[in-house]
Amino acid sequence: MTVDAQGFKQAMRHCAGAVALVTVGREPGQRTGLTVTSACSLSDNPPSVLVCVNRNASAHERIRAERHFVINFLNEDHALLALTFSGQKGVNGDDRFAFGRWTTGATGAPVLEDAVAAFDCVLAQELETKTHSIFIGEVQHVRAVTTVDPLIYLRSGFQSVRNIHDPITLGDVDARRVSWNEFS
């Protein structure tokens, strides 16, 4: 059985993803970045993350050339910034950094000052698929802001986690006497 691209995309719209900006470039005028929901932790030994980047994205070749990048996880106030870095606002390359408050990370790459979390990485490994590269970054520095809520992408739009109703916590599961064994 084959899955068509449209059916796949429709199903993925129901899977919430943290929204992040992947940024690269040491020098003003040479920086670029993109919006992703394909970034996540990989390991804590050594601390590492991974991100999937389309080979057509401007940041793809820059990450390969500079061998560093930052994954900036956005907060709920960053929806416009996410649209800007996705190319939907007609702003490209270094011009995208006119929006938001930026600083320079340990690797020299741009770090969003009020990101929920920012992982400044050196490129440790690259795996290629048909259309994307999976970049594995070894984390050199991390910043976290605990006073803001993350931005997520769900059902074709940006959402705040505060919009998600009835979260279930481990305490709720224990209170209902549901055993983890029932899930296996």
Residues 141-182 have pLDDT tens digits of: 999 998 899 999 998 888 888 776 655 666 655 544 444 455
Report the CATH number that the domain containing residue 28 is assigned in CATH: 2.30.110.10
What whole-number distance in Å separates Cα of residue 119 and Cα of residue 70?
A: 5
**Cis? peptide before 46, omega within 30° of 0:** yes
For residue 134, CA distances in Å to 34, 40, 129 come to 14, 11, 8
Q: What average pLDDT score do residues 112-138 get?
A: 97
Establish if 7 belongs to a structural domain: no
Percent of the chain with pLDDT over 70: 88
- Residue 35 lies inside a defined structural domain of this protein: yes
Alpha-carbon torsion angle 75, 77, 79, 81, nearest 10: -90
Residues 6 or more apart whose Cβ sits within 8 Å of residue 31: 23, 24, 25, 93, 94, 97, 109, 110
> Burial, 144: exposed, middle or buried (Cβ in 10 Å; 0-12, 13-18, 19+)?
exposed
Whether 5 is covered by a domain: the verdict is: no
Domain count, the chain: 1
Return mean pLDDT, the chain: 90
Phi (first) and psi of residue 10, to 5 degrees: -60, -45
**176 in a structural domain:** no
Does the pTM surpass 0.85? The reply is yes
- The predicted pLDDT at position 156 comes to 87
Distance CA 181, CA 179 (A): 5
- Asked if residue 39 belongs to a domain, the reply is yes
Measured CA to CA, the distance from residue 58 to residue 167 in angstroms comes to: 37
Q: What is the pLDDT of residue 171?
A: 60
* Residue 183 placed within a domain: no
pLDDT at 167: 56
Summarised one tens digit per residue, pLDDT across range 50-63 is: 999 999 999 999 99
- Mean pLDDT to the nearest integer, 75-92: 93
Name, in order, each residue with C-beta under 8 angstroms of 143's C-beta and a sequence gap of 6 or more: 111, 115, 117, 118, 120
Average pLDDT over residues 131-140: 98
Q: 40 lies in which domain range?
A: 17-160
Query: What's residue 182's pLDDT?
Result: 53
Q: How confident is the model at residue 184 (pLDDT cuts 50, 70, 90)?
A: very low
Q: Cβ distance 142 to 120 under 8 Å? A: yes
- Determine, yes or no, domain membership for 1: no
